[in-house]
Amino acid sequence: MGPRMKAASILALIGCLATVTEPKIYPRCKLAKKLLRAGMDNFQGFSLENWICMAYYESHYNTTAQNVLKDGSIDYGIFQINSYTWCRREELEEINFCHVACSDLLTDDLTDAIICAKKIAHETEGMNYWQGWKKHYEGRDLSKWKRGCEVP
C-alpha cells in the first residue's frame, strides 16, 4: 500500500469511528428492529408502532435529547424519561425507580433507556407516562410508523 492509500484508509477509519461515537438521530427502521428485539412489540399491550411513534413525538429519535422542565427536573433521551422519578442525576438524591444514572439514558445502544421505558410502562400500566404522545396518538392508526422496516 502506497503512502497516499495508507493516509486515505486511515482517514476512512477515523470517519467510521466518528460516526460510531457521535450522538445521533436513530434511523426509524433501525429503532423498529431494536425495539422488536428488545421485546417491545405488544409490551403491556402496545404494538411496536406505538413505541416508534412515541419516540418520535418525544425526541425526534435524538438519543441525546435533554429538556429541562419548569420544576427543574430533566427529561432524558429518546423516550424523554424524567429525572424526578426515574433516574439519578449526579449529586441529587432522587427517587430513581429505574436504578440508573440519567446520563446512561442518552447512550446510542439504548439498552438502559429501553429497560427503563419498560419499567415505566409496567409500573404505570401502559403508556400513560407519555401524556403528550397519548393525547395526540393513542388509538390512532399508527401503521405508517413501521412501514418499510421489515418488521412483522
* 22, 41, 71, 75: the active-site residue: 75
Nearer to ligand NAG, 23 or 39 (CB): 23
How far apart CA 120 and CA 139 sit, in angstroms, is 19
> Letter for the amino acid at 137?
Y
Cα atoms in the 13 Å half-sphere on the side-chain side of 14 = 6
Catalytic status, residue 75: yes
| CB 106, min distance to ligand NAG, A | 8
Say if residues 96 and 83 touch (Cβ distance below 8 Å): no
| CB 19, min distance to ligand NAG, A | 14
* 22, 58, 90, 94: the active-site residue: 58
Nearer to ligand NAG, 27 or 39 (CB): 27
Which residues here bind ligand NAG, judged by CB under 6 A? 25, 62, 64-66
| CB 1, min distance to ligand NAG, A | 36
Q: What angle do CA 67, 130, 140 make, to 5 degrees?
A: 125
In the block, residue with C-alpha cell 425526541: 59
In the block, residue with C-alpha cell 430533566: 74
Catalytic positions: 58, 75
